[in-house]
């Protein structure tokens, strides 16, 4: 019962705007052609940012048991490029915002959500967002 309330408060206090920002970034990445490998990562971060309570980011190969292009050597190279260009400063931004939410005491759940966003912000390629709800299975494309 608490997760939906926290998610709604999260949306009202900046979560929706953050998710929209990530989705616009994903669109720009996709349009730019050379950014296509990072478009999926930015979309996943936007999804996670939209509804962080009750969700978690996991590696696709750990979840599916199969390696794909994003979880193999090319995904590693993509994550290194992402980290060098954008990941580290985006993660610092989440850490700073988490700190300021945490000092308000009442903002501790939001600080926790920002801390949950740090790992996927650092290395988004090869990650997926899944629900922690019992019995939930995300759509998994075949093939």
Sign of CA dihedral 63, 50, 36, 140: positive
In a domain, 142, yes or no: no
State residue 18's pLDDT score. Answer: 87
Name which of 124, 109, 16 is nearest 24 in CA terms: 16
Residues of the domain holding 108: 2-131
State residue 136's pLDDT score. Answer: 54
Encode pLDDT of 88-116 as tens digits: 988 998 999 899 999 998 899 999 999 99
In a domain, 70, yes or no: yes
State residue 135's pLDDT score. Answer: 59
Which stretches in the chain have pLDDT values below 70?
A: 134-143
Give the whole-angstrom CA distance, residue 34 versus residue 75: 14
State residue 137's pLDDT score. Answer: 54
In a domain, 143, yes or no: no
In a domain, 111, yes or no: yes
Q: Is 131 helix (H, G, I), strand (E, B) or coil?
A: strand
In a domain, 141, yes or no: no
Number of domains in the chain: 1
């Amino acid at each position: 019962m608490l997760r939906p309330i926290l998610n709604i408060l999260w949306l009202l206090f900046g979560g929706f705007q953050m998710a929209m920002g990530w989705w616009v970034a994903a669109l720009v990445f996709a349009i730019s052609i050379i950014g296509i490998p990072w478009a999926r990562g930015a979309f996943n971060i936007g999804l996670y940012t939209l509804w962080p309570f009750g969700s978690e980011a996991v590696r696709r190969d750990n979840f599916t048991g199969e390696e794909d292009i994003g979880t193999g050597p090319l995904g590693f190279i993509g994550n290194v490029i992402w980290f060098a260009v954008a990941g580290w400063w985006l993660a610092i931004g989440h850490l700073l915002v988490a700190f300021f939410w945490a000092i308000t005491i009442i903002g501790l759940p939001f600080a926790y959500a920002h801390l949950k966003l740090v790992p996927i912000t650092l290395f988004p390629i090869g990650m997926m967002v899944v629900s922690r709800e019992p019995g939930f299975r995300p759509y998994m494309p075949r093939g």
